[in-house]
Amino acid sequence: MPKLVVKDIRKVFGTFEAVKNVSFQVEEKETLCLLGPSGCGKTTTLRIIAGLEVPTSGEVFVDGVLVNDVPPQKRQIGLVFQDYAIFPHLSVFENIAYGLRVRKMPDAQIKTKVHETAALVDVESVLDAPGKKLGLSEMQRVAIGRSIALDPKLLLLDEPLSNIDAKARERMRAELGKLQKEIGIATVYVTHDQLEAMTLADRIAVMKNGLIEQIGTTSEIYDNARTLFVANFIGSPSMNLIDCELVYSEERAILKSGDFTLDITEFAETIKGKPKGKELVFGIRPENVSVDIEKTDPTAVEAEVQLVEPLGAKSIYHLKISGVTVLAKGHPMAEVNVGSKVWATFNKDKLHLFDKKTEEAIF
Confidence category of residue 259, pLDDT binned at 50, 70, 90:
confident
Domain assignment present for residue 250? The answer is yes
CATH number at residue 338: 2.40.50.140
Confidence category of residue 277, pLDDT binned at 50, 70, 90:
low
Domain assignment present for residue 223? The answer is yes
- Range of lowest pLDDT (143-147, 178-182, 281-285): 178-182
Q: What angle do CA 126, 131, 135 make, to 5 degrees?
A: 70
CATH number at residue 39: 3.40.50.300
Domain assignment present for residue 25? The answer is yes
CA distance 307 to 310: 10
As a residue count, the chain comes to 363
Give 29-82 as a DSSP string: T-EEEEE--TTSSHHHHHHHHHTSS--SEEEEEETTEE-TTS-GGGS-EEEE-T
Provide the pLDDT for residue 276. 57
Residue ending a domain, among 188, 214, 233, is 233
Residue ending a domain, among 214, 233, 252, is 233
- The answer to whether residues 344 and 246 belong to one domain is yes
Domain assignment present for residue 34? The answer is yes
Summarize pLDDT for 311-334 with one digit per residue, the tens: 989 999 999 999 899 999 999 998
Using left for φ > 0, alpha for ψ between -120 and 50, and beta otherwise, residue 281 falls in: beta
- The answer to whether residues 61 and 185 belong to one domain is yes
Q: Give the total number of structural domains in the chain.
A: 2
- The answer to whether residues 107 and 225 belong to one domain is yes
**For 249-254, what is the mean pLDDT?**
83
CA distance 328 to 29: 38
- The answer to whether residues 289 and 345 belong to one domain is yes
Provide the pLDDT for residue 144. 85
231 versus 174: the higher-pLDDT residue is 231
Domain assignment present for residue 362? The answer is no
- The answer to whether residues 335 and 249 belong to one domain is yes
Provide the pLDDT for residue 181. 81
Residue ending a domain, among 212, 233, 254, is 233
Summarize pLDDT for 49-73 with one digit per residue, the tens: 999 999 999 999 999 999 999 999 8
- The answer to whether residues 253 and 273 belong to one domain is yes
Count of CB atoms situated within 10 Å of the CB of 240: 23
Nearest to 290 by CA among 252, 321, 265, 317: 317
CA distances from 79 to 158, 160, 239 (A): 8, 10, 34
- The answer to whether residues 209 and 269 belong to one domain is no
- The answer to whether residues 37 and 114 belong to one domain is yes
Domain assignment present for residue 360? The answer is no
- The answer to whether residues 155 and 261 belong to one domain is no
Domain assignment present for residue 363? The answer is no
Domain assignment present for residue 28? The answer is yes
- The answer to whether residues 33 and 10 belong to one domain is yes
- The answer to whether residues 82 and 22 belong to one domain is yes
Query: 91: domain range?
Result: 4-233
Summarize pLDDT for 218-244 with one digit per residue, the tens: 999 999 999 999 999 999 899 999 999
279-308 as b/e: b if 16+ CB within 10 A:
ebbbbbbbbbbbbeeeeeeeebbebebeeb
Q: Is 179 helix (H, G, I), strand (E, B) or coil?
A: helix
- Range of lowest pLDDT (241-245, 250-254, 345-349): 250-254
- The answer to whether residues 229 and 259 belong to one domain is no
